[in-house]
Every structure is written in structure tokens, then in C-alpha cells.
A and B are shown apart, each in its own frame.
Chain A
Amino acid sequence: MLGKGVVGGGGGTKAPKPSFVSYVRPEEIHTNEKEVTEKEVTLHLLPGEQLLCEASTVLKYVQEDSCQHGVYGRLVCTDFKIAFLGDDESALDNDETQFKNKVIGENDITLHCVDQIYGVFDEKKKTLFGQLKKYPEKLIIHCKDLRVFQFCLRYTKEEEVKRIVSGIIHHTQAPKLLKRLFLFSYATAAQNNTVTDPKNHTVMFDTLKDWCWELERTKGNMKYKAVSVNEGYKVCERLPAYFVVPTPLPEENVQRFQGHGIPIWCWSCHNGSALLKMSALPKEQDDGILQIQKSFLDGIYKTIHRPPYEIVKTEDLSSNFLSLQEIQTAYSKFKQLFLIDNSTEFWDTDIKWFSLLESSSWLDIIRRCLKKAIEITECMEAQNMNVLLLEENASDLCCLISSLVQLMMDPHCRTRIGFQSLIQKEWVMGGHCFLDRCNHLRQNDKEEHQRQLSLPLTQSKSSPKRGFFREETDHLIKNLLGKRISKLINSSDELQDNFREFYDSWHSKSTDYHGLLLPHIEGPELKVWAQRYLRWIPEAQILGGGQVATLSKLLEMMEEVQSLQEKIDERHHSQQAPQAEAPCLLRNSARLSSLFPFALLQRHSSKPVLPTSGWKALGDEDDLAKREDEFVDLGDV
């Protein structure tokens, strides 16, 4: 099925076993060559963006019907992105451009999105970094959003190859100064303060008012107060300027250990119980200091253990839960499953897909996060207890667990605005070290700081796009996720029983009280979030199928109901002008692909994708496999 023509190979030199096979047939390249000069796509630069280097006659590989072919164009690198300017973009029809990203084009890779760069030398794939002695024939870029780009440099001038390859390597790998991040030059150049609609905006939690509003919304203002003790970050840079603490807590306590050891309010439940977080006091050897710390903490606990406060249960996330290292390791393995160079690789890994998935442990980590959040939800909802999350800096697992709990318990967090506000409250204001965890400044020595912490969160929900949010979240949380008592978590039997009873009871009742939403966490219910992880893989797309098929039916029906409603209104107010038509989201929805809106950018015919890899040995079933269906000798007929 696949063309076996191999591009390159360097004349007569016989390469050892190739680790990379290209499927572009040489004749395809030459037929396309004529068009090179005809179509010139202009580079779109953002305000403040600068072109750094470029190379022409670069061939970008495009996957189509399990064959690859090439498109010629220019490869450029700016201080914001790597972009390929070919002629395939112009072919997009209306439907496809409807959901186009206006800032980052189909062939744009922002510098921060680059995960790994590989070069192909004599059919061998090698990681590229630092100064190169030899330049590759082919460049493969793996992106953090799981796209894979392949550029053939065989037809590019040597000078340009050197410039573009070293340019890309430098600008995506060399350590960066904070002030050199593109965002700053953009902000200076753009100067475009858009006014947000006040009734429809994300709460930023950067004012005292925002916190008071949140306290009021959750009726937490009876027992908790917003404080401005850290205004101007006088006390601590890690904490937001404004935050919320128990009302009787003296403000000077906050200053005592630079905000450590202080119970900080996250959210209040309808029954008055609250979710709190606390960063641990610094570890000390000195007995005297330890004594001081102990008496300080005693004072704190006395404050929050006394009525009107509920009984407090402390969850130590640093010692009893996942480590950041575990999450990082699992994600590194997991993402590799989706960074697929070609069709052969896709089908080769398909046969052992489930064991590969299991060995990454990613779904197990998701399960443990969800389970922890359900346990906490149970404490608050069923036992009316306060839960205090404890972590070294209260800015990693605290963010994760606290936002999951709120998503389960607070329907407001499941709206688009509510979710954005939640991210702002728990992650941005919560002091999650995005710069370190995502390694935006590319400090190699700080590798251990890179954790994909926010990913477990988004795996259990969907990105807040296009107003699909609530349905998708419901769906993901309710259907994608599953349960089980992990042997890895040390909890008392009693706790397990409570959890079990609460979980089973919620799932066996059809009514949901107070908007509570618990995900299923059983093995068979926990699945890969296909729309995120499989979205760039052409083999994985179901043309005209997938969840989006039902969602678009739903939207069509909503439009129909709305227009009927308007007609009825019109009949009643005959002189009133008819309202503007509701914006049509998904016209011609019949042929959307399962990976909509991402995979629309891939061209596809109606040819089916066929697995190419063979059958795995059956092992102990070999004897059976050799048997005949019926035990009748057909000998002499």
C-alpha cells in the first residue's frame, strides 16, 4: 500500500539498518517543483515579531491516505515561531477556515511549543542539540501539542540549511532571559488593551474585590476574610497580593514565616465546610526553632479547630500522594505514544497499544488524582469536614487537587467563565511555577522542575473553547473516567469504606444534589482523551464520525428550536423586527471528522485506513489456532 521509494540515501553508500524511512517517491517531488516559484505565501508577523532566519526550497511532508507527499516552500524562524510558507494553505475552503487559529497558522510552531528536534542523517534519526558539525537531510520537529513536522532539506542550499537549522536549534534550545520572551516585545508593540465585557469576564483575583465576590458567591464570608497584608508583595512574592484566611487569624501571623504555615482559603461548600491549603514551614534542624514553629502551628490549629469551624482533616500531598517526578516520567512516556512519524509506526504500535498505554502509567495517575479529589469531596460533602491541603509550597498538587474538587462540587466552575476564573484563582494566583514547570526559559539544569502538572487537570476536562465546555466536561468527567481503591494510597479502611459508599451511592442515584459531579474511575471507564491526543494523527481520524457527529446534531436541533422560538415571538410581536439569526456553528456537519476541528486541516479522501501490521503470536493458544473449525475429514468428496 505504501510507496517504498526512499528519498535520499546518499548515492551509492549502503546505509546500515535505517531507523527512519521516508515514503515520498522521488517523482512526486519533481512534479511539484515547478510550482515553487509560482506561489509565494507571505509571512504574517505579529506586532513586535522579527524574522531571524529563513531557507527556501524546503519540502514539507504531508500525510494523505497513508501516503506521504511533499509540498515546497520557505521555512522561516522568527523570535516567536517557526513557520513554513508553502502553497497548501491556500487550498483551505470556507468550512476549514471557520475554526482557524488566527495567531498560529497550520504550519506555525511557536518556539515554546517545540519539544524535541531530530535530524535524519543517512536514514538515521538523531536528536539535534547544540552546535552541529554536520547538517541533516531532514528535520523532524516534535511539538508539545503533539504535532509532528517533517521538513526535507535535500533541495535547499547548503548555506541556508546551516542557517535555518542552527537558528532553529538556538532559538528553541538556548537559555533565555525572562525579558527576552516574545510576549514582552509583543505587548510593547501591540498596546492594545481590549475592554472586556464586565458581566462576562473572567475573575482575575488580583483585587480584594474579586476575592470578596468569590467569598460571597460561595457564602464563605461568614467565617473567612480577604486580607491585603501582602499588598505590593511585602510579605511574600509567592503569594498573591490578596487572599483569604479564617476570620480570627491575626494578619501578623502571615508575616511570621513569609506566608508559610498559614491556612489559605480555596473554596466553601454549600454546607459551610471549606477547602484550605497551606504551605509547609521550612524544615529546620535546630530544636529551638522547631519549638517556635510548633507553638506557631499549635496557635494556627487552635484557631481553625475551634467552632464555628468544622473539624479539619489534613491531607499531606507531599508525602501521601503522587510525586512530581512520577507525573513527569509518566507524561514523557505517554506523549511519546502520540508523536508518530508515519503510518508504519502507527500500525506497528497499534497491536500493543493497551500495554504501551498501561506502561506509561498516565491513566493510573489521572485515576489517582480523581480519586483523591473524590475522597476530599466526600469529606466535605458527606462528613461536613474542612479539608486542609498541605504541600511544600502549596503550588503544585494543591492547585491540581483543589481545582478538581471545585470542578466536582461547584457547577459554576463548569461554565466557561467559571473555569477560566478557577484557573486564574488556583493556578495563576495560586503561584504555580509555570515558568519552571514548563521550562519557558529553557534552563537545562532545571530539568527536574519541568512537570506537566496542569495536564492531569485538563485531561479530566476539556479546553474551554467555543462554548462546548459544559457538555464536554460533563461527558469527560462522567463517562471517560472511572474508580478503584489504589493500593498505593495509604488510607485507613474506614476512609475507604466512606469513599466507597459515597461513590457508589452517588453513581447509583440518578438525582444529583447540589450540582455534585463525580467521575467514574473504574479501569474500563478511564479512557484516553482522543480529541486531544489523537488529533494530529490522520490514521486515527474517523471521517464523518466520532462524538462530534452527535454534538453537531444537537447544535442543529438547538438552532431549529431557537428559530421556532423566534417565529413564535414574531407572531406575538408582529411589528417587532426579527432577531438576527443565531450564528451557525457547524454547517455542513455531515462530513466532520472525529477530530474536528483539528483534523479538518488534513486533507482526506474517502479511502479507508487499513492496518498494515501483522498478527501477534497467540502464545498458549497456538494449538487451538491450528485446529479446524469442524472435525470432519473432507478427504474424498
Chain B
Amino acid sequence: MASASTSKYNSHSLENESIKRTSRDGVNRDLTEAVPRLPGETLITDKEVIYICPFNGPIKGRVYITNYRLYLRSLETDSSLILDVPLGVISRIEKMGGATSRGENSYGLDITCKDMRNLRFALKQEGHSRRDMFEILTRYAFPLAHSLPLFAFLNEEKFNVDGWTVYNPVEEYRRQGLPNHHWRITFINKCYELCDTYPALLVVPYRASDDDLRRVATFRSRNRIPVLSWIHPENKTVIVRCSQPLVGMSGKRNKDDEKYLDVIRETNKQISKLTIYDARPSVNAVANKATGGGYESDDAYHNAELFFLDIHNIHVMRESLKKVKDIVYPNVEESHWLSSLESTHWLEHIKLVLTGAIQVADKVSSGKSSVLVHCSDGWDRTAQLTSLAMLMLDSFYRSIEGFEILVQKEWISFGHKFASRIGHGDKNHTDADRSPIFLQFIDCVWQMSKQFPTAFEFNEQFLIIILDHLYSCRFGTFLFNCESARERQKVTERTVSLWSLINSNKEKFKNPFYTKEINRVLYPVASMRHLELWVNYYIRWNPRIKQQQPNPVEQRYMELLALRDEYIKRLEELQLANSAKLSDPPTSPSSPSQMMPHVQTHF
């Protein structure tokens, strides 16, 4: 690839994008300073390196490492390249080349990132510069291994909106019309005694006593008992979430659990069955019996219908995403793009997750049956299914704040293990606990927003910034595995919320086409004919595969919006002027329209 010739054309490369992004993020930047810094961010070191850009070839630059980011500025006159990478996205740092390495740029560091890219730097062999850089990066990218705090605890950013107030469980349940005479709010888990991975506040059937709940907890994996996630405003059917029952090899039964599910069923008088969706493939559910888990059998739960949704486990998803990276980074697989894409199975998994969520939503909405959703522990696939079904059913969650509440509620408060799945500040990149479950959920949301371009208040940038800060460790939002751990660490007091950043820059994340429609159920079409690889996320580092931003229709719409506002203003001015000279006789018509920009109607 002719590096020099392409680089001079790439004024739109992502590296430049990142400048825009940081300034958009409200970072105070002193332009005379070499590196942008957040309040609380300190510069640790800087080094001269060769950045081996996979698209434009080697570029000489100076890299600055702070306790938050790696920042590279090109030292070459014909390149304005800038890299701005939060250390939180780093998953692995490897040394490449040894003392005997020959060949240009063969000695340096290869950094694997969690956001679908690798960064390679070549360093001089003399003067221990590689060793220094390796040690400093390791120290600050993986602070947990060095007894250092995550950057979120050092961040001193101030925003005029407090994102921690966005989600208030009592308010959210009140919005859903809860408590009512079938459902009550319980504080039994106030000190996380019933279940340490559940939130403090839970909504349970009115007829189940706290003692009942304690007994049910003994029969559910990690005490994650069935609790209400969402109630249908009209037919009062509910989505309830939990973990698998502890049936085991011997097929244990628990009268309290059976009774409890029956109580849930009875809150809805319209149908005689409770529908249970087990997110797993049935073979896995059966296999789980061997380790003490299992599923609700027909014998024990007469009034329930069980369906398996065939969604695979976290390991399958992790491997699938790895394969996606293989075909898109650094180069996009060219000769057999479609079959390569198919062989990653990524979109197939997306299809299954969406299909499951559609079934949940449809059952509640038109099947008029309450639904219980679980997988094994009820914090991965279960969170995906309940939150996506809620997004389909409840238009509130399709607004910016509504979506934040949805994430805060179904994912963060119900103990999706963000710390384990992402590995914040942790150096063990091969940890089998890591898995892109939340990314998969955001991808499903993106697929929905593609299919319904007017139904969501937020745009693609909103989803991307959420994913960027899922890894960055700049905000406390996604840190730790559950609410009890967050409370112990006083996360809301000691860190800033991602929603503070987003909600104080809301305009940037708004979809101009958004049309608010209450009570509209959205059913995406979970067919491969409509599912697409999210190019603007997965392939965003490749400057060649950059989709037009904004797209032409959106651009045109924004122009028209501006024109409309201008006309409304003019009309108001004219009305004022007319009423002022109401007594004056009408003057002969001039030609004011010629001075006005007329809207072009050709399409």
C-alpha cells in the first residue's frame, strides 16, 4: 500500500475523528499544551515512537502517556495524525521483536484493544525506552494488578447535570404504575442480604411474604428470585426475571418456588398459564442439572409452559466476536466477505437474541400471558432479553433518558457482571469470564434503530459513546459487578456518571427523525435479510470504510429544519409588523419573495 500517497488524502481518518470526539466530550484543552488532559489526569511520560498505522504505514510521532490515556501526535509535517486512546480499552500489551530483531520497525509494542483494534509502536532498541513504556502502560492500563485506583476515582470532571440522579428505582416503578394491588415494593434486600447481586429494591407479588421470598431464594441459583421487570400498562401482564431453579440431577422440587410462580401467574387473570422462557439451548439447560441447576419441569410446574430460546453462552459469544475482528481488522476480508461474515456467526447470534426478545414482547403484548425469563444465573442472556423486550414494548425506553434508565435498571442494578465481562483495569486478558454480552445488546439496539429510523430519540453516536466508555474507566457507570459492590466503593459519590457527560451534551446524541409515539410496539424483523454488520462501529478504524456522516437524507432534513425555523421567525416578524401598521392602506406588492431563499423541491 502506498502509504505516503494515501495519507495525504485521508483528512477524515479516525485519528482525526478522535480529536473531535475529545473536544465534543467537553474536555478542556489548552491548544498550546501537547496533550489534552481531564481534570485529575496527570502526564506520566512521553516517548518518541514510530506508530505503525495499518492503513497509512509507519508514522513518526511522540506518544504521551497519562494515568488515563495514550496520546500520540505525529511528528511528520505531511500528517496531522493524532491517536487518543483511553488506557481502559487496552486488553493486552505484548513486546514484539527481541534484541536480535532485524528489519525496520520490528522492535516495539503491540497493544490489543477491547474496541476492535490493535496499536503497534516501534521503538528504538537503545535506552530501555520500550521497557519503560511497557511498564508504565501495564501499570496504568491494569491498575488493579498494581493496587492503583481506576481512573474514574481520580477524575475530577464537573458537569452541569448529575447523571447519578437519572435512575431512581422508586420513580421508575411508579412510572409503570407500581406498586398496585398485585405487586408490592419490598426492601427485603436493603442490605443485600437476600441476594448480593440484586438491587436493594425489588418488586414482588403482593401475596408473597418476605419469608416466602427467602424460601424461594434457596431454590434459585445465587438467590436470584423471580422479580418484576416490567408491567404492561393495559393488560397488566408482567415480565419477571430470575436465575435457573436448583433442580439438580435428582430432579429436586421446591413447593415454595412452585407456589411462588403460581402466585405470579395469578396476578394476571386473562390466561391460565405462565410462560417461561429459558434463554439457553435445551441441551445446555439439561446439562446444567449436572452442576445443580436445571429448568422448570412440567411435572413440578403444572401451570407453566416452558420454551427454550437457543441463545448460546458467553464463551460462544466471545469467540464469535473474535472472528469478527479477524475479518475486519486491520483489513476487511475481500474475496469472500459474505461467507466470512456468516462464518463468524455474529449476526446469527444477534438474530437469536432478537428473536427471543420478540417472543417475550409478543407474549406479553398480544399473548396476554405473564412471562418469566431466565438463563443460568440471570445476568447475561436474561438481561439481554428483558431489556430488549422492554425496548420493543415501552416507547419510554427509546428516549435518551429512558434508555439510560433501562441500562441502569436491567443491566447495572440487576448485576450484569460488567467488571468480569469487561475486565476493567485487569491484566488477565484470557479470563474466561470476559464476554461481549453488553456489546451484543447494544448491537441489537442498533439493528432495531436501523429498522425503525424514526422510533428512537438517540442516534448511532449515542450507542457508540456508551460502548467507548464501557471500556474507558473514565466514568463509574459500568464499574463493578453489582449494586452492593458499587455501594461499598461509594461509586456514586466518588466517580462521575457517563450520563452526566451525555445529558449535558444531549443535542449531539439526538436523532432528528425521532417521532414520539406512545404505546407503539416495535417488532424488528429478525431475518438475516435485514440484519447488518454494524460497520460504523466494528470497522470504524478503517478510513476506507467510512460511511457518510451524516447520511444525505439526514443532512437534507437538517437543512429543512433550519429553513423551517427561519420561516417561522420571519412569519412572526411579519405578523408583528402587520399588526403595527394595521391602519395603513396596503402598499403595492413588492417582490420580497425574490430575496428569500426558496426551498428546492427537487428530490
A residues adjacent to B (C-beta < 8 A)? 346-347, 350-355, 357-358, 363, 415, 467-471, 474-475, 478-479, 482-484, 487, 497, 500-501, 504-505, 507-510, 520, 522-525, 527-528, 530, 534, 539-547, 549-551, 553-554, 557-558, 560-562, 564-565, 567-569, 571-576, 590, 594, 606-611, 614-616, 618, 621, 624-637
* Given A550-B554, A616-B348: A351 in contact with B574 (beta carbons within 8 A): no
26 contacts between A and B (CB under 8 A): A353-B529, A354-B341, A354-B347, A479-B548, A501-B9, A508-B546, A524-B341, A540-B525, A542-B452, A545-B453, A558-B560, A568-B596, A571-B578, A572-B589, A572-B590, A575-B586, A606-B366, A608-B362, A610-B526, A626-B284, A626-B287, A634-B248, A634-B291, A635-B248, A636-B292, A637-B221
Question: Could you tell me if B338 and A355 are in contact, using CB atoms closer than 8 angstroms?
Answer: yes
Question: Could you tell me if A525 and B526 are in contact, using CB atoms closer than 8 angstroms?
Answer: no
Partner of B603, one of A467, A525, A549, A635: A467
* Given A609-B525, A634-B221: A562 in contact with B601 (beta carbons within 8 A): yes
The docked-state distance in angstroms from the alpha carbon of A567 to that of B578 is: 13
- Indicate if B27 sits at the interface (CB-CB under 8 A): no
Question: Could you tell me if A543 and B523 are in contact, using CB atoms closer than 8 angstroms?
Answer: yes
CB contacts under 8 Å to A, within B451-467, are 451-455
Question: Could you tell me if A475 and B553 are in contact, using CB atoms closer than 8 angstroms?
Answer: yes
Question: Could you tell me if B564 and A560 are in contact, using CB atoms closer than 8 angstroms?
Answer: yes
The docked-state distance in angstroms from the alpha carbon of A569 to that of B548 is: 36
User: Closest Cβ of chain A: how far from B523's Cβ, in Å?
Assistant: 3
Residues of A within 8 A of B291 (CB): 628, 632-635
* CB closest chain-A residue, reference B586: A574
The docked-state distance in angstroms from the alpha carbon of A608 to that of B452 is: 14
Residues of A within 8 A of B281 (CB): 615, 625
- Indicate if B218 sits at the interface (CB-CB under 8 A): yes
Residues of A within 8 A of B560 (CB): 554, 557-558, 561
- Indicate if B337 sits at the interface (CB-CB under 8 A): yes
Residues of B within 8 A of A543 (CB): 523
Question: Could you tell me if B599 and A562 are in contact, using CB atoms closer than 8 angstroms?
Answer: yes
Residues of B within 8 A of A530 (CB): 529-530
Residues of B within 8 A of A467 (CB): 602-603
* Given A524-B337, A575-B586: A610 in contact with B6 (beta carbons within 8 A): no
User: Closest Cβ of chain B: how far from A517's Cβ, in Å?
Assistant: 10
Question: Could you tell me if A470 and B603 are in contact, using CB atoms closer than 8 angstroms?
Answer: yes
Question: Could you tell me if B339 and A631 are in contact, using CB atoms closer than 8 angstroms?
Answer: no
* Given A550-B557, A610-B355: A350 in contact with B520 (beta carbons within 8 A): no
- Indicate if B98 sits at the interface (CB-CB under 8 A): no
User: Closest Cβ of chain B: how far from A542's Cβ, in Å?
Assistant: 5
User: Closest Cβ of chain A: how far from B443's Cβ, in Å?
Assistant: 15
The docked-state distance in angstroms from the alpha carbon of A553 to that of B532 is: 23
* CB closest chain-A residue, reference B280: A629
Residues of B within 8 A of A616 (CB): 345, 348
Residues of A within 8 A of B328 (CB): 524
Residue among B328, B337, B376 facing the most chain A CB atoms (10 A cut-off): B337
* CB closest chain-B residue, reference A468: B603
Partner of B529, one of A540, A560, A562, A614: A540
Question: Could you tell me if A590 and B517 are in contact, using CB atoms closer than 8 angstroms?
Answer: yes
User: Closest Cβ of chain B: how far from A498's Cβ, in Å?
Assistant: 10
Question: Could you tell me if B589 and A573 are in contact, using CB atoms closer than 8 angstroms?
Answer: yes
Residues of B within 8 A of A350 (CB): 527-529
Residues of A within 8 A of B601 (CB): 558, 562
The docked-state distance in angstroms from the alpha carbon of A577 to that of B563 is: 24
Residues of A within 8 A of B513 (CB): 549-550, 553
Residues of B within 8 A of A610 (CB): 355, 358-359, 362, 526
User: Closest Cβ of chain B: how far from A545's Cβ, in Å?
Assistant: 4
Residues of B within 8 A of A618 (CB): 312, 316, 345
User: Closest Cβ of chain A: how far from B454's Cβ, in Å?
Assistant: 5
User: Closest Cβ of chain A: how far from B417's Cβ, in Å?
Assistant: 9
The docked-state distance in angstroms from the alpha carbon of A627 to that of B284 is: 8
- Flag the segment in B44-52, B175-183, B262-270, B565-573 that touches A: B565-573
Question: Could you tell me if B338 and A357 are in contact, using CB atoms closer than 8 angstroms?
Answer: yes
- How many A-B Cβ pairs are below 8 Å? 284
CB contacts under 8 Å to A, within B1-27, are 2, 5-6, 9-13
* CB closest chain-B residue, reference A557: B560
Partner of B551, one of A475, A571, A575: A475
Question: Could you tell me if A615 and B596 are in contact, using CB atoms closer than 8 angstroms?
Answer: no
Residues of B within 8 A of A541 (CB): 525
CB contacts under 8 Å to A, within B481-527, are 513, 515, 517, 520-527
Question: Could you tell me if A558 and B599 are in contact, using CB atoms closer than 8 angstroms?
Answer: yes
Residues of B within 8 A of A534 (CB): 529
- Indicate if B547 sits at the interface (CB-CB under 8 A): yes
* CB closest chain-B residue, reference A571: B574
The docked-state distance in angstroms from the alpha carbon of A607 to that of B310 is: 22
Question: Could you tell me if A564 and B529 are in contact, using CB atoms closer than 8 angstroms?
Answer: no
* Given A474-B552, A549-B454, A624-B315: A524 in contact with B535 (beta carbons within 8 A): yes
The docked-state distance in angstroms from the alpha carbon of A572 to that of B586 is: 10
The docked-state distance in angstroms from the alpha carbon of A531 to that of B12 is: 31
Partner of A523, one of B283, B337, B570: B337
Partner of B376, one of A351, A522, A560, A628: A628
Question: Could you tell me if B544 and A507 are in contact, using CB atoms closer than 8 angstroms?
Answer: yes
Residue among A553, A626, A637 facing the most chain B CB atoms (10 A cut-off): A637
Residues of B within 8 A of A628 (CB): 284, 287-288, 291, 313, 376
Question: Could you tell me if B571 and A629 are in contact, using CB atoms closer than 8 angstroms?
Answer: no
The docked-state distance in angstroms from the alpha carbon of A525 to that of B359 is: 31
User: Closest Cβ of chain B: how far from A494's Cβ, in Å?
Assistant: 11
Residues of A within 8 A of B453 (CB): 545-547, 549-550
* Given A352-B342, A626-B284: A631 in contact with B432 (beta carbons within 8 A): yes
* Given A562-B599, A629-B377: A551 in contact with B571 (beta carbons within 8 A): no
- Indicate if B332 sits at the interface (CB-CB under 8 A): yes
* CB closest chain-A residue, reference B375: A629
Contact with A along B319-361 (1 / 0, CB 8 A): 1100000001000111111110110010110011001001101
- Indicate if B380 sits at the interface (CB-CB under 8 A): yes
* CB closest chain-B residue, reference A553: B513
- Indicate if B127 sits at the interface (CB-CB under 8 A): no
Residues of A within 8 A of B598 (CB): 565
Question: Could you tell me if A572 and B592 are in contact, using CB atoms closer than 8 angstroms?
Answer: yes
The docked-state distance in angstroms from the alpha carbon of A504 to that of B291 is: 56
Question: Could you tell me if B335 and A487 are in contact, using CB atoms closer than 8 angstroms?
Answer: yes
- Indicate if B561 sits at the interface (CB-CB under 8 A): yes
- Indicate if B293 sits at the interface (CB-CB under 8 A): yes
User: Closest Cβ of chain A: how far from B196's Cβ, in Å?
Assistant: 14
* Given A524-B535, A524-B539, A561-B599: A354 in contact with B528 (beta carbons within 8 A): yes
Nearest first, the 4 closest Cβ-Cβ pairs linking A and B are A523-B337, A634-B292, A608-B523, A353-B528
User: Closest Cβ of chain B: how far from A411's Cβ, in Å?
Assistant: 11
The docked-state distance in angstroms from the alpha carbon of A561 to that of B521 is: 31
Question: Could you tell me if B355 and A611 are in contact, using CB atoms closer than 8 angstroms?
Answer: yes
- Indicate if B152 sits at the interface (CB-CB under 8 A): no
Residues of B within 8 A of A346 (CB): 527
* Given A475-B551, A568-B567, A627-B313: A504 in contact with B6 (beta carbons within 8 A): yes
The docked-state distance in angstroms from the alpha carbon of A134 to that of B357 is: 48
- Indicate if B34 sits at the interface (CB-CB under 8 A): no
Residues of A within 8 A of B551 (CB): 475, 479
Question: Could you tell me if A634 and B553 are in contact, using CB atoms closer than 8 angstroms?
Answer: no
The docked-state distance in angstroms from the alpha carbon of A353 to that of B314 is: 25
CB contacts under 8 Å to A, within B343-393, are 345, 347-348, 351-352, 355, 358-359, 361-362, 366, 375-377, 380
Partner of B358, one of A525, A549, A608: A608
The docked-state distance in angstroms from the alpha carbon of A635 to that of B289 is: 9
Question: Could you tell me if A564 and B571 are in contact, using CB atoms closer than 8 angstroms?
Answer: yes
The docked-state distance in angstroms from the alpha carbon of A338 to that of B68 is: 52
Partner of B561, one of A500, A528, A557, A615: A557
Q: Given known contacts A542-B524, A544-B522, A615-B352, what 6 new A-B pairs fall within 8 Å (CB)? A: A350-B527, A524-B341, A540-B529, A571-B578, A629-B314, A637-B218
CB contacts under 8 Å to A, within B229-255, are 246, 248
